[in-house]
Structure 1
Amino acid sequence: MSKIKFGVFPAEQQRANRKDMVFAPNPLSLSVPEPAFESWLRDSGYLEILDQRTTDLHRISTTAKPSNSAAHSTTTPTPTSIPPKRVFFVSRLFSPIWTLLSLLTFNPFSKLATDDFAANTPPWTLAFFGSSESYSFPSSPSQARLRVHENVKRFARNYASLFVLFFACSLYQLPIALSGLISCLALWDVFKFSSDRWGLDRYPIIRQTLIRIAQCVTAVILLISNVQLAVFWALGVSYAVMILHASFRKLTPAKQPAVRGGYRRTARR
């Protein structure tokens, strides 16, 4: 009875002792911080899961905001402040605009490497264009950056082919630029043929002088024929198409399962 305090029953003393106890953290706990879990998904290659998870979290947060703001307005009414519902709708209106503007503040080619152009070209139908379910508006600027960086690496050869296509279309609309480009190619072809026939390799000074003259003539022809205008329009249109497609295109697994006879082949264990 010496351990029992005066006026306190044993059951109440045990509950007080439980409150004073401090438990050590469990090393087998399954609770993982959000940044650590997202970094693990990114490093493990599960980018499609990270993409879908970001969209789901944004949808949950947006649906929970009106109820929270309404509850706050009922408890603490402020007649001079803006209604929470109006603030919410204004934020939802400017959120897509801010997401699109954020695409102009970073370099989409920062993670692009030369090995990405050496890989095979993804199919244009299933991998590149996909279906209507393959596209969604990015929920946040971070998700837009993630999509752009990953899709630029995956579809680098497709975007390069689109640039060539847009450049050919711009040359078709500017026949003077097309004739100037063809004349420049013909000039260098004639120079190579003459160099091989006359043996200019034995006269390096003369050969370097002729090369400098040909470069100056090429620059004058390109400026007069406005080839730089065609290049500018091709770069602008292809860059806009690349940014919009890469930001709206959902992330998918890098290797799609093979489809044969309407069924997906899965590896047997």
Structure 2
Amino acid sequence: MSKIKFGAFPAKHQSPNKKGMVFAPNPLSLTVPEPEFESWLRDSGYLEILDQRTTDLHRLTAAAEAEAAASKPASSSAAANSIAHIGVYFVSQLFSRIWTLLSLLTFNPFSKLTTEDFSGDTPPWAPVFFGSLESYSFPSSASQARLRVHENIKRYARNYASLFVLFFACSLYQLPAALCGLILCLALWEIFKFGADRWGLDRYPVIRQTLIRLAQCVTAVILLTSNIQLAIFLTLGVSYAVILLHASFRKLTTVKQPTAKR
């Protein structure tokens, strides 16, 4: 088990030993197991550090494997084995990445989303939401992808909601019949509200409930005949795909930590 150690100090008036060590163990040093350290990072809100550690570890592991493959003897049989090893490595990496993307469909990305995430200000689009090319990287594992998705959806909930409205408007633009059906439904209920207030239908609850049920049936017929369900389906599919891809590829950036109350 790899451990994180804090508090080692150089020994005074001590010459290097045979192994070249010039540091003496500090009896007051703190040794924290890596799983507990990662758990502390999660609980403290420093998820960007955990995300960066996972990315760096994956990059160093891939570089070490590539260097080990390149340092093998250059004989004909060794070269053939090296090529086969590289081919197997790339195929395994390809299937690993495909599995990472497919794993995004096996969990609920909105499970940690709350109504408070929509109450704040909308993060700026260019410098924060989209970022730069350095703000994106392929998640090295399914757990890292889930971590990014859950946190990014909470951070950019208002941005994703705006994108959903934009995609729905584009779907209605591509389907004029659905747009006309939606406008007709809204006009129908506005007319019903105006007529109920004008004629005082609140004094006749039976007639009012009958007209409401009739208006609901007419609305359902209009929605079905105008194919507005197709526009909603396209909007949900495109929005869900964009949210998962952006949230999983977008690196976690540093956010302002809450100050401790005294």
Q: TM-score range by the shorter chain?
A: 0.7 to 0.9
Letter in 2 for 1:57: L
Q: CA deviation digits over 1:32-85, x for unaligned, max 9?
A: 212111111111111111111010111122233356689999xxx9xxxx9544
8 Å contact kept, 1:138–1:144:
yes
Query: SS in structure 1 opposite 2:31?
Result: coil
The alpha carbon displacement at 1:206 in A equals 1.4
8 Å contact kept, 1:116–1:154:
yes
The alpha carbon displacement at 1:121 in A equals 1.0
Structure 1, 83-92 or 160-169: larger mean CA deviation: 83-92
For residues 172 and 140 of structure 1, what CA distance do their matches in structure 2 show? 39
Query: SS in structure 2 opposite 1:31?
Result: strand
What aligned pairs does 1:36-55 form with structure 2 within 5 A after superposition?
A: 36-55=36-55
8 Å contact kept, 1:66–1:88:
no
* Matched residue, 2:199: 198
* Matched residue, 1:147: 148
User: Gapped runs of 5+ residues in structure 1?
Assistant: 1-25, 257-269
8 Å contact kept, 1:167–1:231:
yes
* Matched residue, 1:128: 129
For residues 28 and 90 of structure 2, what CA distance do their matches in structure 1 show? 43
The alpha carbon displacement at 1:28 in A equals 4.1
Percentage of pairs with the same residue: 77
The alpha carbon displacement at 1:87 in A equals 3.0
* Matched residue, 2:119: 118
For residues 149 and 223 of structure 1, what CA distance do their matches in structure 2 show? 35
For residues 95 and 84 of structure 2, what CA distance do their matches in structure 1 show? 17
* Matched residue, 1:58: 58
The alignment's C-alpha RMSD in Å is: 2.5
For residues 218 and 46 of structure 1, what CA distance do their matches in structure 2 show? 49
For residues 56 and 193 of structure 2, what CA distance do their matches in structure 1 show? 60
Query: SS in structure 1 opposite 2:253?
Result: coil
Letter in 1 for 2:61: S
What aligned pairs does 1:205-224 form with structure 2 within 5 A after superposition?
A: 205-224=206-225
* Matched residue, 1:159: 160
Letter in 2 for 1:64: A
User: Gapped runs of 5+ residues in structure 2?
Assistant: 1-25, 258-262
Q: CA deviation digits over 1:159-194, x for unaligned, max 9?
A: 111111111111111111110000000000000001
Rg larger for: 1
Q: CA deviation digits over 1:95-114, x for unaligned, max 9?
A: 22111111111110011111
The alpha carbon displacement at 1:90 in A equals 2.1
